[in-house]
Structure 1
């Protein structure tokens, strides 16, 4: 029975459906009014044309809603976010252009997520870079997988509204891992957390770290906007501290929780491939990805 429910969860990863309950949450969490949101989309579209600061590959309401939801339907803020998103794609095209989607299955457990999405937590995602063998593939592939994970996930209206919570688990991190972190890599990773992407980050929790954190965090701190600081929490090896912020129902057993609907990146991507639709393939190709049969 559990496997059946989990399979349903994987299939739902490709859903772009908006149900009434979601729209109620969108009003509460994103200041969205279904009756007038088309007006906000039109205002954002006009602003794009008038200011000429970016040239997004799409201008339809469905696409623009991602940015409006991420900035509580404040049109100027949504526009600034869209400009940053477009500039990021222009600056680092190698992160997606010609990237073979299914080849990134090699990332395996470096990223992990749970399929239990709640208004208070959103989608819980876990970065476990210490599981990565630096001799198997370059750090750029980790970033490519992160970009892909976001590009697929943000298609879901549910995740656009609920946002997400992040755990950065530094267990297993060595100097070999730290040596791969250039300022460019650090900026790219921070960008995925909502700096240049239409993501609603609720909080970020850093756990299982030692003195190596000083070097690790120093690289990232310079790129983190000051308004994000109050969303970042350091717990060291204290899981009780982590559990004060994230309900046990949402945490995997590894962190003392009871959630078993976890999905390592490799498995998640396999399921995306299994349940993908023609519309999904079309969207990924439009972004520049190589989608093999």
Structure 2
């Protein structure tokens, strides 16, 4: 088995209920099993000359968790992850949270993830495209920087063990959205690339997609997006109209910004959208995370598309590592 020094040093920060869920739903049976699974995954990686990736324990573990410890599926997702980043360098290379354009786009609050968990222990991705001034997107920042921010936020969130085990739920607020917003994000090849990253490359378990305040042009919007969606995601998509009551039933209130809470609410709060953005930026600007994301987005990690051969695709999973 291919081992590294930090393999036995890993200590899970999950609460007891999440540990039980990891065992029950993800096949993460025990510490020994987890170590052996990561080492088997790493051993396969080191045999692939076409694949350059970090091999530290925490990085590999999130891919295994995302695919319920199937070695085969974890390999596919890891390959997709680096293929996507190799083919679209303007979205993924040389990312630094301190860049002015990234800071300004983050501060719009169009794409935020509060740290607090929803009623099912999941992190909530809150997307509101109408917060974006399209003149700024097209003339000041460039559309590619929009995707760089989305990828940055996703890589940031996926380091959280709660996300790895309990998953993500997406809340899309369509208030004041225009068709131009949709065409900017999902038009031409950009939408296809974004959905490929979200559905095939990102080591995440997306447990629900909740749409609020759908616009009058929803049918046209859905026609644009639906061909890019897998059936599993379609099955987990819910339309709530202009009723936040339904959103509260599905997600709860504790993980939603103040702007979405009813008058008189006295329960736990995550704060305003602005305060959530400030908290995200503060966390991303920590020396530890900046070093992590700058390393992750450097050119040494990639898929060598010329060396990659179709017959290198793994044909079976050796997930079962049951060690008493």
TM-score by length of 1: 0.82
The 2-side partners of 1:287 and 1:144 are apart by 13
Shift of 1:141: 2.3
Shift of 1:136: 1.1
Residues 249 and 153 (structure 1), Cα distance of their counterparts in 2 relative to 1, 3 Å cut: closer
Shift of 1:38: 1.6
The 2-side partners of 1:228 and 1:65 are apart by 23
Residues 143 and 38 (structure 1), Cα distance of their counterparts in 2 relative to 1, 3 Å cut: same
- Written as runs of structure 1 = structure 2, the 5 A alignment for 1:136-175 is 136-138=136-138, 139-175=143-179
Counterpart in the other structure of 1:135: 135
Which of 178, 199, 215 lines up with 1:210 in the alignment?
215
Residues 220 and 280 (structure 1), Cα distance of their counterparts in 2 relative to 1, 3 Å cut: same
Counterpart in the other structure of 2:295: 286
Contact 1:17-1:156 at 8 Å conserved across structures: no
Residues 266 and 119 (structure 1), Cα distance of their counterparts in 2 relative to 1, 3 Å cut: closer
Counterpart in the other structure of 2:92: 96
Shift of 1:131: 1.1
Q: Radius of gyration: which is bigger? A: 2
The 2-side partners of 1:117 and 1:239 are apart by 18
Contact 1:165-1:204 at 8 Å conserved across structures: yes
The 2-side partners of 1:238 and 1:122 are apart by 21
The 2-side partners of 1:229 and 1:177 are apart by 21
Contact 1:121-1:165 at 8 Å conserved across structures: no
SS of the residue aligned with 2:156?
helix
The 1-side partners of 2:121 and 2:169 are apart by 6
| Greater alpha carbon shift after TM alignment, 200-209 vs 214-223 | 214-223
Q: Does 1:247 align with 2:258?
A: no
RMSD (CA atoms)? 2.7
TM-score by length of 2: 0.75
What are structure 2's unaligned runs of at least 5 residues? Answer: 1-9, 300-324
Shift of 1:17: 6.3
Counterpart in the other structure of 1:12: none
Contact 1:118-1:162 at 8 Å conserved across structures: no
Counterpart in the other structure of 1:13: none
Shift of 1:134: 0.3
- Written as runs of structure 1 = structure 2, the 5 A alignment for 1:219-230 is 219-230=224-235
Contact 1:164-1:201 at 8 Å conserved across structures: yes
SS of the residue aligned with 1:72?
coil
What are structure 1's unaligned runs of at least 5 residues? Answer: 1-15
The 1-side partners of 2:199 and 2:11 are apart by 23
- Written as runs of structure 1 = structure 2, the 5 A alignment for 1:166-205 is 166-180=170-184, 181-205=186-210
The 2-side partners of 1:64 and 1:233 are apart by 32
Residues 20 and 140 (structure 1), Cα distance of their counterparts in 2 relative to 1, 3 Å cut: closer
Shift of 1:25: 4.1
Which of 44, 69, 75 lines up with 2:71 in the alignment?
75
Shift of 1:167: 0.5
Counterpart in the other structure of 1:105: 103
